[in-house]
Every structure is written in C-alpha cells, then in structure tokens.
Structure 1
Amino acid sequence: MAAIGAAAADPVAVTINGRDYTRAEFEQLMRNIGGNIPAQFNSNRQGFLDMFALTQRFAEEARKLKVHELEPYKSRIAYNEMMQLAQYVLDVKNREAKILPEHQRAYYDKNPNKYSAARIKVLYLAFTNTALPGAAGGRTEADAQALAARLKAQLSKGADFVKLVREYSDDPDSKSKDGDFPDIKPSDSSLPTNITQAVFALKPGEISEPIRQPNGYYLFRLEQMIQQPFEQVRDDIYIELQKEFLDQWVEGVRKSVQVEVKDESFLQGQARP
C-alpha cells in the first residue's frame, strides 16, 4: 500500500525510449549532470527531451557498432573519461574537508594582517600624451610627474592633504569626498599590485611616493588600518581553508607522478595531425 501511495504521489511524467521517469527522477538526473544542462532543460523541456532521446539512440547504435573499441574513438573516450574523473575527484576531495568553526577562528587569530583593511585618502593627477599640439586643456605626463613631486614635497613639510585634493585632484568621486577612497584589502585584485603594496607599506599618517598608472599619478595617505570582524570574513576563511586542504592533497598526489623521458628529441617534435 505504501508503494502504491508513493507511486501516486510521484507518477510517471515521461517515457523515453521505453524507460519511465517520474518528474522527480528526471529533474534529479538533470541536477546530477549539472553544468548548463538544467538550464537547457528548463528553457525548452520538450525540445530537450527530444534531443535527449535521439542522443540516447545514437549512443545505443554506437555500442552496437562497438565504436568505443575503434580508434581514434577509443583513445578519445579514454582521454575524456580520464579528464572527467580527474575533475570529479577534486570535487569529491573538496567536500571531504572537515572545517569547523574553531578552525576558522584559529586561522583568523593566526593571520590578523590578512584580514585588515587600509582606510586611505587619494589625490589623483591625470595626464594625457595624445593631445594635439596647441590643443587647450590636458596635462602632459611630464607636467603631471613634476606636479606630483611638488605636491609630495609640500605634504612632507606638513601641507594639508585635503586642501590639496580639493585644489588639484582630477578624480571627481574621491574629490567630492575630500579624497576618501574605498578601503583596500591585501587580497584586493581590483587594484594594481604596486598600489596595494605601496599602501600597506605605509604607517598611519604617512603619504606614498607618487605612483604612476597609465593615465595619471596617485598620492595615497594612510588614515588607519582596520581589522575586519571575524563574522565578516568567516566565509572567506572557510574557502581559504578548503583550498589549503585540497592543495595539500594535490601536492601529495603530485609527488607520486612519474615521467621519465628516454629520448630528449621527443620533447622537440610536434604531434602529427
């Protein structure tokens, strides 16, 4: 009776080449396959079912002809299986990482600098090297470099950073905020490395040397270093620990890899098409 009730609750939704699928079974199959397949299925279910059934028939015909035993298909199938399994084992190992809240907290306490942020002000001096001779407006790179050096000298003698921002900065957004710039993190990949390194080399109140970028020079003043709360970076730490676990496992497997080239000329040749 229980089986009858279960069947009634989830009846057959589609039969494909003689195989019955309930709605739950086929939708779970799509999720298991993953990638963009669920989206394709949901965008046009009838079209997808037709394609699925036809592809299934093609595969059956291939098995009858023993295509999987013929070259070059045999090698291609083996290679694709190897690549798929290699990816899948990484997924499986990634899920094996047992990362507890106490592990995340300990990592946070051990790496305080990693979860700090620099609160800064910026003064930006734009330049252009493409202006036509005699054209009005625009500052050349040489002019911007000289001005940046002059402002840096003034700041070193105690000039008001905000006052100079209001007078000279060419960045409307930060200028309207007296030079305030979004906080920078050590791992911030949205900024050039030389800017991040220069900012984190400063102490509060210090001003960077002029930093050249393709369209201008920057001067940064470090206002303060801010420690991000543990609750704010908890998820980032989980991902970091998960990556460390997987990297250690991969490195262990890598050490077992053996490649011995017997003929050095083999490395210089090109595979035939």
Structure 2
Amino acid sequence: MKNIKKLVTTACIIVFTFSIAGCNMIEKTPEAIANSTVAVVNGEKITRGDLDKNPNTMQLISQAKQQYGEDYAKNDEAVSVIKNQKGQILDSMITMKVIEQKAKELKLLPDENKLKSEMNSQIAQIKKQQFGNNTEQFDAALKAQGFTESSFKDMYLSQLKAQQIEQKVSDSLTKNVKVTDKQIEDYYKANQDKFTEQTDKMHLAHILVKTKDEAEKVKARLDKGEDFAKVAKEVSEDTNTKSKGGDLGTISYDDSQYDAQFMAGAKALKKGAISGPVKSSFGYHIIKCIDKQEYPVKPLSKVKDQIKKQLEDNQKTKLVSQKVQEWKKAANITKKDKNIM
C-alpha cells in the first residue's frame, strides 16, 4: 500500500510540475535524463543511463550516500567530487567504446551466446559458493547494492564482454612480442637486488632541505664532523623524522612508498656512508646509511622464466597502450559534460 501511495504522489507531482511549467520549461523525466547523451564516439552514443549503470558509478554513489547522506545531491562538495569522478569514469567508458569498435572492425568480438552461457554459469557459481543457492539471500544482497537480478545480469554481461574484448584485442596486438635471452640477462644484471634470496634491507636517516645549495651546505657541515642527528633536528624539513634526528628506520629495497630517486641514492651507499645531495620530488636529501643487510643473489637459471614473463608483460602493456592512444586520437569523440550530472 505504501508503494502505491508513493507512486500516486509522484504522479501528482509530475502533473503539477507540467501544469505550472507550461511549454517553455518542462522538467526532464528520469527516462529523458537516462537517455541524454554524455558522449559520442564515432557516431555511437554513450548515454547518462549507461554512465549511471556503470559499476564504478554505482559504487561512487553508494560511497557518497554513506559520507553525505541520502541528500548528497544537495551538498556542493559532494556534487563537485561526484562530477569529477564521473568524468573520469566516462573517459574510461570512451576508451572501452573505442576498443570495442576496433574489435568489431578486426572481427574480434566474442560470441554473444557463449558470453551469456558463461555469465549464467559464473553467476550460478557465485550464488552457490556465497549464498548456498539461497535465492532470497542472493536477491537481498543484490537489492542492497541497488540491483535486481535482471539489472545485475545486464551489468555482469557487460563487464564480461569488456574483459573478453580487451583480452582478444591484446592477444591480437601482442602475438609477435618476443623477449631475447640478452634482454633477460641485461635486466637481471641491472636489477640484482630484485632477485636476492631474501629482501635486502637498509637502516637509513636523512636530512631534507628545499634546494641543492642548502643540501651542499649540510653535507659540508657533516664532512667537518658535525653530528648527523643534531644537524637533522636543526635544519630538516621532514617533520615526521626531524625530532628523531632524521631516522627513517629499516627500509626494504622493494618498498614502493619511497621516491625512486631517493631509493636509488640510498641503495648506492655502503654501511656508514653519507650521500651528497640526492634530488627527489620532495626536495634534496642528504642520506646516511646506518646499517645494511644484503643477501646472495639467486642464479639466473632460477629466475629466468620470471624475468621473461615480466618483460613480455611490460612490452605487451606498452604496445597495447600506445595502440589504444592512436585509436583514440583518430576517433571522432564528443563529450557533453553538462549531462554528466
């Protein structure tokens, strides 16, 4: 009964809106909004409905409701964030549309009947493994995410199709990629610390300043015998380590949280050594290697297959990325940002 009343109330509001707006200013219906164009790729439209049904958009809206409440659309900050994120999602959809069009041209589109069969099989597996084939629990989980079984299948089929298209296009473009023994050996020699029996570690301290000139002055003071920790407490710009005399603790060689240039400078130091100015995205560092633990390097024979796969994957990723950018550049793409929200 409540749902019927809600529908009736909504209908009355729509009629009232039409009656006062007249012919000059008619509010768009949800259907009209869903059918509005947000982008055109070589003559093919991407609609607002397509964008709003994208799983990334649905997740974005769910997060917005959690953070800003159900009335998130009335919050300027929320609207700004959502519009920016939806723009990025739309860019990804445009890229996928370009790839799909090229896949069609190259006769690489997956068979629709096989896709549906695979989709049904995978969903049945999810239903069995996660819900014990309990239909009510499965439907409730879908509802909590804003899906009906039908809309979930549409989304799942779309995502499965996109994955298979990307894989087929990638396989087609990269079938001739080969990695030579010399490339493998060169990579092995240049990246010895990646193939040690255990991960190499170093205990570091640093002093961060803004300019190279400041760093050279710091190094000169240290060369004259001043205490590293004392100088760090006095001049370092790193507020997280300044009070600790610049001590960063023990860092693994493969720690990706640190700037690559900083890590390269640190790895080059012997135990007890202090570097000259090392530039990073944060400024200039003077680095001290307090201690170092380096382990034996595995023989090439043990890591050759691993390196080969990594180099092949790197080449394939680069080749596909370059080709997709070429296709996008050649495509006729129009975006209608005003229709995103």
Please state which band the TM-score falls in when normalised by the shorter chain.
0.3 to 0.5
Q: Report the TM-score, using the length of structure 2 for normalisation.
A: 0.36
